[in-house]
Amino acid sequence: MVTAIGAHTLRILSHPVEIAYFFTQFLKLLARQVGTGRFRFRQTVDQLYAVGVQSAGVIFFSIGVVSLILVLEFSFHMKLVLHQDSLVPAFSTVLLIRELGPVVTALLLVSRVGAGLAAEIATMKITDQIDALRLLSIEPFDYLVVPRWIAVWLAAVLLTILSIGVAILGGATIAAIKLGYGFGEYFNSMFTFSHFSDLIGCIIKASVFGNLLPLIACYHGFKAKPGSEGVGMAATSAVVEGSIVVIVADFVVTYLFYTL
């Protein structure tokens, strides 16, 4: 039992070291690509299509439904406490831009894209495709990680901005149908508390999430154990750790943004 506890403790302590080493290797290869100006453009575009375009539908639908719920909940509670709901557009927009837009988008990308990236690379590892790349003098990090990192980073930022636009339109629609707001009235009230700095904070959060998620997913893919069980564990670990990282990073960025 003592041996098992010691082995488990060593695995926990070595995990951050392995992640740090993985990130260091990635940064070194990224710097080399930037220095030489040789990007794998085709692979990056393919990944951007797979990550961004194919994820757009589920993200827009999900954030649109969230915005409908948000407007109805704000209206109910404001009428209950303040006996009027004139600030529903302002509060719902601020919450969408500052928190729900980037966080919901990132969590959906974790569940759809993070698991897929981890499983894809894990499958390549257990079928010796990564070793085949090395035999062809192709650096796996350079070929697999960098294009996916660029694609997820760009997709996270673009999808966050577009999903907020979809959410605002959805909120305005349900407010017009259910609460009696005119579209002009809704959009005029929307900017009561929201400012351009909120959008900047939103883009920063989306950029942070988009930087971290593909690296975590690729890390678990490269560290996958042999067999189909290893592929499943890599995908599960990528989703779990990615979700935790999104929540923690959201707190850190929010704390820094509103205290500095």
Among the ranges given (25-29, 86-90, 98-102, 178-182), the one the predictor scored with the smallest mean pLDDT: 25-29
Proportion of the chain above pLDDT 90, given as a percent: 23
The residue ranges of every structural domain in the chain are 56-259
pLDDT tens digits, residue range 167-193? 989 888 888 888 888 888 888 888 777
pLDDT at 186: 82
Average pLDDT over residues 48-69: 90
pLDDT at 230: 85
Q: Which residues of 203-219 are buried (b: 16+ CB within 10 A; e: fewer)?
A: bebbbbbbebbbbbbbb
Predicted confidence band at 128 (pLDDT cuts at 50, 70, 90)?
Answer: confident
Residue 121: is it exposed, middle or buried by C-beta count within 10 angstroms (0-12/13-18/19+)?
buried
Distance between CA atoms of residues 3 and 175, nearest Å:
61
